[in-house]
Structures are given as structure tokens and as C-alpha cells.
Structure 1
Amino acid sequence: MRRDHPLLSGLAALVARPFQLGGHSLALAATSDHAAYPKCSVPEYGQCGGIGYSGKKCCPPGWACHRTNEWYSRCRKKLDANGCTNAEWAQCGGRDYEGETCCVKGTYCKFESEWWSYCAAKKTTTSHCKPTTTTAKTTYYPTTKPYHGYPTHTHKPTSTPYPTVINKPEELRLSPEWDIYAPPQEREYWFEISEMPGAIDGFNRTMLVVNGQYPGPLIEVNNDDTVVVHVKNSLPQAVTLHWHGLFQNGTQWQDGPSGVTQCPIRAGVQYTYRFPVTGELQYGTYWWHAHRRALYIDGITGPLIVHSRKDPLVRGRDFDIDQVVMLHDHYHELSEVITEGLLSPEGFNGSVIAPSPKSNVINGRGLYNCSFAAAGQTCNQLTQSDLPELRFPPNKRVRLRFIHEGSHPPFQVSVDEHELLVIEADDTPVRALPVHRIQIATAQRYSGLLYTTGHRTGDSFYLRSQMNTDCLGLPFPDLDPQARVVIRIGDECDDLGTDLPTSVDWNDPTTGACTDLDAALLSPLVVRRAPAKANHVRVFNSSLAVPNGVFKWTLNDITFENFAFDPLLQRVQRGEPIPPMRAAVVTAGLEVIDLVIQNIAGADHPFHLHNSPMFVLSSGPGVIFPEEASRLQHNLTNPLRRDTITVAAGTWRVVRVITNIPGTLLFHCHIVWHQVQGLLGILLVQPERVQQFQIPQDNRNLCAGGNMSMIDPGRKRALPTGPSSPSLPSSSKA
């Protein structure tokens, strides 16, 4: 659950001064909404009740004390004459739900499952629709009040016994009235991670999810806010969470990777992540996910959006609608089963190559051909008509925030008969680049701008996500590599029917090289020249080895060994060295380094660097030595900055990194099956500063009683050769 407390102190200054939005000088008129109430000290949206609360319980006129749960109630605006505070899409029922059960006039409490009911618009009500025939540009003005027309995101944890995983697509449409001018505040969430059966593609399997839903809850904040996530681990095993793309400057123990920056959160344990979102350029599209073994691919993922008044991409000027699109390759076995197989001499299903997925999933739903299901397995055949759809009004500019939260192959995303304008790569806003398809590697993000100009209400067409199957190393007999989402043109109240589109896909190829969009074509809107010179050249060489019949990926000839209860950050903080065979370590001070990433042998790898952006400079075939790399002539004028880049087999790439955030920065391939096979290393930045860290006691308590000498279960240095030889990766696929 997110708890928002808009502060009143800055309002007077805000309404008194003009400001710029889309090139126009605007001024807000003062209102009486935030007038002082001498008989009531509880502000709008302030806490007014709950166990242990001893403050005032009154609310301002026109507001009511809304019960969220037994621990928390807050003042919310009455939305109708009956005093209801539940807007459309708000939760109004479900097992263990303790909040308000009414719905605002014009909506009703719609049953979705035993765990979820929400306020849905009555089909006969059309008065809330606005005309959509105008072609005038819509301008959204800043507001000092939270938006009431979208979900309230009351992410209260569910409880066992295990219900069915639910899907909340409405959470992925971002509110048009999010206040980017709100004062810095804590944004608070409660996550319970548990096992639940789910059939997101029709095939029923056990999933690991947060608060009973997949994708997981949206985290939405402003730059300078503090993120607070209370985690309750109801799994039968340990877990951690990572905030992909965000910097942990002074809070590196909150970064999440097990055995690197923290000990894992064991079964039944609760832990709170708390960190500020700082950094001048920390805004845009991110995501969060589990970061122990391969657990996130079982469902522990969700979007994370950071807004900023400094963001050059402005809603109302550059786009009108903001839609998150989560991309996922889905498997029918638990990741633990696959991991144990990959770490054995025999491999998983007889191969140490990363397995092929079973289905392609968009925003938590996909299609599987149940005729391939084995006897005794439960599979309910779904069709395209069973999947959620997207609905956009005509004559709008739609920002599609694509997030690859899967584990393996890249996706080619496109919209039939519509060019997409790429306007963001990872979290870097870029000058608009028109394309037919965007290839997105694991963990990368792109924003694509879609125009609905010229369409009429009732038009429809497909958004497609196509797996690049040339990047799979094994056959995929039961996989449909393409997933589709129907986009319909119209307002929410329009009856648009259920006929499927007849739109035509682009004829551009959907398979081929497993590479990124050309970095030279992506020019950042916020101009930053790369440092003119690097102090040192450092190298990560990626390769493979098969000692004693056990396949391993290596960096600098070392396979990462995860001693979960002896995290590397704490070792460095104690002044102890990182044992040489635990991880490949590259050390840097407060300086500028050129990092040469060489893929000497094996598959294509999307590499991710934690805690620091990379200036993407140069690339080439073969092998390059540090001396040669130091003499390269790079384009330093505003090169692309991103946190995840693909390095194809038999090639190298050079990135420039400013090592100004101390810590044990994890560097790894984001194909999760390659991670569990050891393809991780450490960029150790300013170890003398790390020794001065004051790691909080609650973080250290996660390690209490753990065996510091035990490798995280499943990872084995060497095992006897099995009865048969597993198949090994080719030079370009795994």
C-alpha cells in the first residue's frame, strides 16, 4: 500500500509564482481546498485512525476517515452525497480486505475473485465520457492533490491458504494527475511474497508472487522521495528484492543481490527496504525483481516509475497517455527445478543450455497450446478474446513503457501499421527515433510513442511482442513465439464490441542478430559529454568452462560463488579481502574507467551494471587488449547512457564509467539461467569508503545464525561426470 501525505507548506509559494510547462507560462489559482481548519488538526490525506494511533481523528469538511486496515486509516475526499471515498477501480472487497466497501455513484463493487473486488463503472453510465472528436492537444496541469480516478493501489498482503494469482492491468495505466511537484515524502508499500497457483497462459503451475498478483504492484515515486517497502517473506525459502536501475548512493546494502550486498530474507522473516531516490538523472522507467537465484522468473517482478520535474519528457506536451507494458517469457517448471538441473552434470532435460520458454506473456497474460500439456497436468485453453485489451481515445499520443522483465530471449515489439517513436532507452530520454520494431533484451526498457491520430472510435489493431527465436539455443516445439494485445480506439464507456482486428503486421524480420538498437541512433535529450579521458582500462572477459563435467559461465576465468550469509559488501566493510575464487573483481577508486566487456566464447549476453550508468562508446569483433582499448578514439559528444547492454558472442564493447558511488557493484548477465550458472562479477568502487559504511543493524540481523561458509544451495564447484554428456552452448546461443 502506498501512503501519500501531501504537505501544505509549499502551496502558497507554488500558486503565487508562474512556471513553465510546454513552453507556456502558467500560474495556478489559489483555492480553498487546503484552508486551515482550526477545530481539526488532521490534514487532507493525513492519518486519522488505526491500532496504536493516538492523534486527532477528525477530518476537514467534505472529507471522511477512510479505513484501510486495522492499522491505518486516513482522511480521504468524499466523492458523492453518500460520503463514499472509493473511486472507480478502487478495491471494495475480497478475503482479508478490511477497507471501505462502498463505491462512488456510477460504479458498483464488481467481484473479480474471492481475493479481489473493485469499483467498476456501470455499463449504462456514459456521462463521464468526454468528446474525442477534437484534434486539439490536451494539456495537463500540475496538481497538488492525488488523482481519484485510477486505482488506489492498496497493496495489502494476501494470506494463505493459496488463492489463484490475480491480474490487475488497470495498475499499469499511470495516472494523468500524478503530482510531480509534490514535496519530497515517503512512499510506503507492504509486500507479502508467497506461493500461489497461477494459470497466466492457461497452464496451471505454482508461482511466486507479491500480494497475490502478477505482475507485481506498481511502485511510483518522484525523484527525491524515499521508497519504503515492507517485505514479509511467506515463501518456504529465502528471497531478496532489487530495484533495477536505481542508484544506492550511501544505501548500498539496500540494493538487493543475495550474497553481494545483503544476506537473504529467510522464510517467515520480515524486512524493510528504505532508500531515497536521488541523483540528477534518476527518473524514468525502472522495475523491481527478486535477486536470489532465478526466483524472479517465477513471478516476483513489477514496474517502478520515477517522475521528476527535470524530466524532459513532459505529459501533456510530449504525450497524453502513459501505459506500462510488461514483457515476459514464461516457463511451466519452477525456477528451482530448472536451476537444479542446470547445475547438475546432466543438465536440465539433458542440456546445460538455457531452456526455451513455453509461452510469451504481455502484462501478465499469455496463450499456451494445451494440446501439448502432459496427461495429469491442468490446462484451460485460452484464446485471444480471453486476454486483457488496451483502450486509447483517438487523436492521442500514447507513451508505451516497455519493460523486459523476463529471463532469456529478446523481444521484438511493434504495433500493426503504426510506427513507434523511441523516446527512452532504459532511463535515458532520447530524441524521437521512428522504427517499425524495437528489439528489447532482458532487463532493458524502452518507451515508444504511439499516435492514434486519424482513428475513429471502434478502430482496432494489434500490439505484438515477438520472441527472437534465433537467440534460443534449444528447440521450442510447444511455443508460439508471438504474443498479441488488442488495442481498441475509444473511451472507457464506449461499446467497442469484441471482434478481433484485421490489422497487418510489418514485414520486417522478427529474427536475426541478438543485439540492441544501434546506440549511435539514440541521442539523449539531456546532453552529457562523456569524460574526456579514462584513468584506467579495466576488463571483464566472458567465457565458459566445463570442469569435472559441470558447466559454468565465467568472468575473467572465475565462476561466481554465492556465499549468501557472508555478503561481499560486509566483507569489504570489515576490511577483509574478497577471496579470489568467489568472484571476478575489478577495483576502481574515485575516477573514470573504461570497462572493456569481451564475449570471448558462448552465447550473446545482456550485461547489467548495478549502481552506475554506462556511457556506451565503442564496439568491435574479436578480442581487444587494454593497451589497444586505451588508444581508441571514441565519440564523447553526448553518447547514449544506459544500465544494460548486449554483447554478442565474439565481440567486445567499451563503456565509460564514473566510479563516484562506492560499493560492491554487481556486474552480470541478465539472462537469469546464465546467472545461476555463475556469470556475475564485482566492480569494487572505493573500498576505503566502503569501510566507513554504517550498515544498519536490521540489515545485519538478516545474517544472524547463517552459515558463512555455505554456498547458496544448488551451486556446486564440481561434481562427478554424469552418465551422459550434456549438450553445450554453441558459439552464439544458450
Structure 2
Amino acid sequence: MASLVWALLLVTLMFPALVQSMVRHYNFSVVMTNFTKLCSTKSIVTVNGKFPGPTLYAREGDNVLVRVTNHVQYNVTIHWHGVRQLRTGWYDGPAYVTQCPIQPGQNYLYNFTLTGQRGTLLWHAHISWLRATIHGAIVILPKKGVSYPFPKPDKEKTIVLGEWWKADVEAVINQATQTGLAPNVSDAHTINGHPGPVPNCTSHGFTLHVESGKTYLLRIVNAAVNDELFFKIAGHNLTIVEVDASYTKPFKTDTIFIGPGQTTNALLTADKAIGKYLITISPFMDTVVAVNNVTGFAFLRYKGTVAFSPTTLTNVPAINATAVTNAFQDNLRSLNSKIYPANVPETVDHSLLFAMAVGANPCATCVNGTRVVAGLNNISFVLPSTAILQAHYYNISGVFTDDFPATPPIPYNYTGNLTTANVGTLNGTRVYRVAYNSTVQVVLQGTTLIAPENHPTHLHGFNFFAVGKGLGNFDPNKDPQNFNLVDPVERNTIGVPTAGWTAIRFRADNPVHTTWGLKMAFVVGNGKGPKESLIPPPTDLPKC
């Protein structure tokens, strides 16, 4: 299953008149809601009774206040995926890392400023699998009076992609934990909450309404728990202008490739004949790992289309269409203009190699006597009972150790024939410390242990530059010679190729922010003075 590697994530809201540096107030009520999908009704956890949840609107520079009230039986947190929590790590949201969860009947006020960012991001629950139904889009408009660096669209449309399970998602993950096996794959893919027609079920699906001659900015969010997806609109090309709230050099494509947690902004010109056109989302998986292979459907409908008009169809990419994913990713480049430069670190203070693997540890109560686990550098991350950030701030001992290895303790042929390799991992809550404003290069090395696959990887609190990627084992002498240090794409989430590697660079300028992914954590030290230091914890910070 192509699980996202989380770099360890009832009010009607009106869009107010926009001025610079406003304070945006939102109320999120986490409630149980009955929804009918796939010809059955079930109760799901939502925000404000909506699936997907409400879109959060703001401008670059705005202060955002979101009070989250928990009315369900589960612990809850909300992660603002991709928001740079500069000095405000208390509000990032990962449970037991930057905060304790919001317990039933309690509430918490998230308070952060959108600094140096504009575009589209994602918010979602960041505890267990609640993010399957607790998620929505973040739309960050440019500052008042600042134009887009591309032709102004006539209208903007937000499209949230997701997954749907017929079963309760908490039961799905609990069953997997008890059996030691991988969780069941989802039953459908959704577009703005609708699966479209699927086998043995009639669903009308989502409809994107357009007018001939107009240009639309599509803000596409992949809120899926696991699946990397292809997005297509029959007969139409799309011009990519931004990913993960970072502008890109524009390029045209008929297929968007988007991983869990990633966002893509694309211009769509309604320049085809009046009628209906099929929209599809379908999964990517280039190995034998189980994945939900059901295609999700929606419709683009031109104004003036007569009833019962035939729908123009499109072919979806093959599930293992690696060439399509590579072509899309290779075309992504930072805009790198005078206004929006690509400040890529040219030298690095910390050069790290993280071997990403799926392993198996002993489990006396599991079906096969083992439990499938994930690990980086042979360590499976263990969530503590006290949030790591609180333990660091208050110098609480015994919560974590700072001995996460910079490289695999025992190097091996990561992408070779590993049928005889030791697939067990060590368990621990370990972090890697870096100084404020230091530069970091991380080579994320995929392996062929048990389940080789493409691993989408997210880094909390920072954007990074994807400076290189390749197949096989990373060569520290030869591969850096081909790094792109001029205009690499800037992202917060990136895929690591199956049996390959991806190299990223970032500057650790977010003080004492804790991040983690496939079982590891960074702790960034304070800089000089209050402007380079973490703010004190809020008085309403949830307790464990």
C-alpha cells in the first residue's frame, strides 16, 4: 500500500472583504455525520458536518485563528499540511509530536500566520486514520494588489480528491494492528466527496460547470490516505502553475500526477465544443503492493449542454505508468524569478541518508507471528505519551533520545536481492538535532525489503527543494554532480521512486520545530533572540 510517509498528520463561513494582514476566524466542530456513499449509509467523523470539510480562505500574511471543538469519542488534532509554522510549532497538529490531542469534549485554538506562502494547501486530522474523512483545502490568495505570475483566471475551482471505505476507518486500522497485516485498501476514490459511478452502485458524481471561452484555476488537493493518483479531463490540456503553494514554470499536460498530501494548481481553458467530458482519477502503483484500483469519475459540463448529451470519454493511465509519473515530475521546476527566487542551499551542513524500508517484527498475538512495520535507518518510530515538543521545551527527560543515526547503522545493497536480509527493526523515539539556520540534505533511499514501492514523503514545518532523484542505490560521488541547484521544484511532499532515491535540501530556519516521517524526527534549535526562537506554549495547549 502506497502509504504517505508523514514526516513525523457547524458554522457557515462567509468570504469577507479582503485587505492585507487580516485576522481570519474559523470554527471547526468535529462531529459524527451520516453520509450515503457507495449505496450505503454510515456515520463518519467530519468537520462542520461536511465531507470534504470547509475550505479555509486567507491571504498571504494573514493571521489565522481556528478553534477546533471535539464532539466525538476519538482524540483529534488538525494538521495544516504545508503551512510553515514559523516559531509556532505548537499549532502544527501532529499528535504526541507537537501537541497532545484534543480529547472528547475539549477544544483548542490554532493560531498561525501565513508567512511567505500563497497557493493551495491541505488541512486534515493528524491522529490515527481520521484524516480519511476529516480534511479540506486551504486557499492562500496573494497579498492585496499582488497579481498571479500567470494569466489571471476568470474563476477558481477547488477539487479535493480522497478515498472512501465502506467500513469504519478506525476499525480498519485497528484490525490491521491486531492482525499484523497491512490495512485493507479503500473501496473507492472520491472527487469532492463523490465516487461517481462504481460497480454495483449508481452515483451521479461531482460536476464541474464551465462556460465556453473562460479560463479556470483548478486548485487540486490529494487528501487520500494512501493512493497516488492520476487526474485527467477528457479532451483538455492543463497548464501547471503551482505545486504545494510554490509557483512553477508553466507547462502543459493532459495528465496530472499527485501524491497524498500534495496540491497542484492548474489552468483549464474551456475551449472545446459544448458538451460533457469525463474527469477521472485513477491510482498509480508500479509494484505488486495492493492498491485500490477503482477509477473515480466526475464530469466537466459546459454551459448550454443539452440534457442527456453523450459524455466524451478518456483513457486512464495504466496503474504502473511510471513513464507518465516521471514525465510529469521531470517537468516541474521552480519559477525562480526575481520576485519568487529559488533559494537552494548550495552547501550543506548535515548530509543524511535515510533508508526507507518495510519490515516485520515479532508479534505473539498476530496472525503470522509478525507485524508489518515501517522504519528509517532500521528504526521504527514510537509515539510517546508526552508530546516531543513539550518534552523539549520543558526539558522533560525520558520522552525521546537524540541519537537518530545520520546514515544506516549497517550499510547494505538497498535495492538488491534482499530475500535473506534481516527484516526486523529497532523501536524507539529518536530525534536528530540540527542548529538554527543550518542547511540539511537528506537522501531518501528506497529499498526492496518486503514491499518495494513509491513512498510519498512529507516534511513538517519546512519547504524543501527536490534537487535530484534516480534508480538504484544513491552514489554520493557521482549522483550529486547531476543535482539541479538552479531551479529545482520547491515542495513539502515528494515521492521516493520504487527501488530508487530522492535528494532534498532545506534550511532549518524554523526554530524548535519537530518533524517526522516514516519513523524519525528532527529537532531544530533556537537561533539568536526572540525572533529566532519558539514562542511559549499557549495556555490552552491540550494535555495528554
User: Do the two structures share a fold, i.e. TM-score over 0.5?
Assistant: yes
Contact map agreement 1:313 1:429 (CA 8 A) in 2: no
Asked whether the 8 Å contact 1:184–1:225 carries over to 2, the reply is yes
Match of 2:7 in 1: none
- TM-aligned CA distance change 1:506 to 1:387, over 3 Å: closer
Aligned CA distance change for structure 1 residues 530 and 465 (closer, same or farther; 3 Å): same
Task: Name the structure 2 match of 1:244.
Answer: 81
8 A contact 2:125–2:131 mirrored in 1: yes
1:419 aligns with 2:230: no
For residue 418 of structure 1, what is the amino acid of its counterpart? Answer: H
**Alignment partner, residue 459 of structure 2:** 609
RMSD value over aligned CA atoms? 2.6
- Structure 2: state its 5+ residue gaps: 1-9, 363-369, 404-426
Relative to 1, partners in 2 of residues 1:539 and 1:684: Cα closer, same or farther, differing over 3 Å?
farther
One-letter amino acid matched to 1:271: Y
Are 1:389 and 2:235 matched, yes or no? no
Could you tell me which residue of structure 1 aligns to residue 33 of structure 2? 196
Match of 2:511 in 1: 662
* 1:436-451 alignment, distance < 5 Å: 436-451=254-269
Return the letter of the residue paired with 1:650.
A
- The CA deviation at 1:362 is 0.5
The partner residue of 1:592 within 436, 439, 443 is 439
- Mapped to 2, the partners of 1:643 and 1:651 lie a distance apart of 19
Shift of 1:620: 2.1
- Kept in 1: contact 2:259–2:495 (CA 8 A): yes
Q: Which residue of 2 aligns with 1:356?
A: 185
Structure 1 alignment gaps of length 5 or more:
1-95, 98-151, 155-174, 372-380, 669-678, 707-734
DSSP-derived class of the 1:268 partner: coil
AA matched with 2:484: N
Residue correspondence of structure 1 range 274-285 to structure 2 within 5 A: 274-279=111-116, 282-285=117-120
In 1, the alpha carbon distance for the partners of 2:314 and 2:224 equals 23
Kept after mapping to 2: 8 A contact 1:530/1:656: yes
Is 1:466 the equivalent of 2:305? no
Paired letter, 2:228:
P
Hey, what does 1:6 align to over in structure 2?
none
What is the distance in 1 between the residues matched to 2:287 and 2:479?
A: 32
1:515·1:648 contact (CA, 8 Å) conserved in 2? no
Question: Looking at both structures, which has the greater relative contact order when contacts are Cα pairs under 8 Å and sequence separation is at least 6?
Answer: 2
Counterpart for residue 523 of structure 1: 333
- The whole-number CA distance in structure 1 between the counterparts of 2:188 and 2:301 is 24
Letter of the aligned partner of 1:530 in structure 2?
V
Q: Does 1:541 align with 2:355?
A: yes
Distance 1:621 1:695 in 2: 43
Return the offset for 1:584: 4.3
State the alpha-carbon separation in 1 of the partners of residues 472 and 190 from structure 2. Answer: 35
Distance 2:514 2:156 in 1: 32
Say which is worse superposed, 260-269 or 611-620, in terms of deviation: 611-620
Tell me how far apart the structure 2 counterparts of residues 370 and 520 of structure 1 sit (CA, whole Å): 35
Q: Work out the CA distance in 1 between the residues paired with 2:315 and 2:146.
A: 32
Structure 2 CA distance for partners of 1:416 and 1:623, relative to 1, 3 Å? same
Partners of 1:264 and 1:475 in 2: CA distance: 30
User: Are residues 201 and 634 of structure 1, via their aligned partners in 2, closer, same or farther at CA, if it must alter by over 3 Å?
Assistant: same
Could you tell me how far 1:595 is from its partner in structure 2? 1.0
Using the TM superposition, give the Cα deviation of residue 355 of structure 1 relative to its aligned residue in structure 2, in angstroms. 2.5
The answer to whether the aligner puts 1:325 opposite 2:159 as a matched pair is yes
Question: In 1, Cα distance between the equivalents of 2:27 and 2:342?
Answer: 37
Counterpart of 1:363, as a letter, is N
2:195 is matched with which residue?
Answer: 366
Question: 1:400: how far off?
Answer: 1.2
Does residue 263 (structure 1) correspond to residue 107 (structure 2)? The answer is no
Question: Could you say if the C-alpha distance between residues 401 and 216 of structure 1 is closer, same or farther in structure 2, counting changes exceeding 3 Å?
Answer: same
Provide the residue aligned with 1:582 in structure 2. 428
How far apart are 1:312 and its partner, in Å? 5.6
**Aligned-residue offset at 1:244:** 0.7
The residue aligned with 1:301 is 135
- SS in structure 2 opposite 1:645? strand
**Equivalent residue runs for 1:484-523 within 5 Å:** 484-490=297-303, 496-506=305-315, 509=318, 511-513=320-322, 515=325, 518-523=328-333
Residues 622/312 of structure 1: CA separation in 2 closer, same or farther (3 Å cut) = farther
Cα offset, 1:633, TM superposition: 4.6
Residues 614 and 404 of structure 1: CA distance in aligned 2, closer, same or farther (over 3 Å): same
- Going from structure 1 to structure 2, the CA distance change for 1:475 and 1:238 (only over 3 Å counts) comes to closer
- CA distance in 2: counterparts of 1:194 and 1:454, whole angstroms: 42
**Alignment partner of 1:235 is 2:77:** no
SS in 1 for 2:428: coil
Deviations 1:163-209 (A, max 9, x none): xxxxxxxxxxxx8xx866x1312111111101222113322222110
**Percent of aligned pairs sharing the same letter:** 22
Q: Given that residues 512 and 534 in structure 2 are in contact (C-alpha distance below 8 angstroms), is that contact kept between their aligned partners in structure 1?
A: no
Matched AA of 2:190: V
CA distance in 1, matches of 2:52, 2:258: 18
C-alpha change, 1:631 and 1:420, in structure 2 (3 Å) is: closer
Residue of structure 2 equivalent to 1:639: 488
The structural deviation recorded for 1:241 is 0.3
Structure 1 letter corresponding to 2:123? W
Equivalent in the alignment of 2:366: none
2:4 maps to none
Listed one character per residue, the Cα deviations across residues 430-458 of structure 1 (whole Å, up to 9, x for unaligned) are 122111211111111112221112544xx
Give me the TM-score of the superposition, normalised by structure 1.
Answer: 0.63
Of 514-523 and 328-337, more deviation after overlay is shown by: 514-523
SS in 1 for 2:391: helix
Post-superposition shift, 1:506? 4.3
CA spacing shift, 1:391–1:238, aligned 2, 3 Å: same
Q: What is the CA-CA distance between 1:247 and the residue it aligns to?
A: 0.6
8 Å contact from structure 2 (residues 260, 456) kept in 1: yes
Compute the displacement of 1:475 (Å). 7.0
Q: CA, structure 1 residues 398+692, in 2 after alignment: closer, same or farther (shift >3 Å)?
A: closer
Write out per-residue CA displacement over residues 337-393 of structure 1, whole angstroms, 9 at most, x where no aligned residue.
12112222x34xxxx23422111211111146574xxxxxxxxx423xx33312111
Distance 1:267 1:655 in 2: 39
Correspondence 1:568 to 2:378: no
Change (3 A) 1:393 1:475: closer
Q: Once the two structures are superposed, what CA deviation does each residue of 1:299-348 show, in whole Å capped at 9, x if it has no partner?
A: 10011111113866368x3321111111112111222212112222x34x
Equivalent residue for 2:126, pick from 291, 301, 305: 291
- Contact 1:559/1:582 (CA < 8 Å) preserved in 2? yes
- 1:555 correspondence with 2:376: yes
Q: Structure 2 CA distance, aligned partners of 1:365 and 1:325? A: 11
Matches of 2:287 and 2:54 in 1, distance apart?
A: 30
| Structure 1 residues 412 and 361: CA distance shift in structure 2, 3 A | same
**1: distance between equivalents of 2:519 and 2:327?**
24
Counterpart CA distance in 1 for 2:101 and 2:332 is 38
Spell out the pairing of 1:210-229 with structure 2 (5 A cutoff): 210-229=47-66
In structure 2, what is the Cα distance between the partners aligned to 1:462 and 1:291?
Answer: 33
Alpha-carbon separation, structure 1, partners of 2:291 and 2:460: 33
Alpha-carbon distance between aligned partners in 2 of 1:633 and 1:437, rounded to the nearest angstrom: 27
Distance apart, 1:245 and its partner CA: 0.6
TM-aligned CA distance change 1:451 to 1:367, over 3 Å: closer
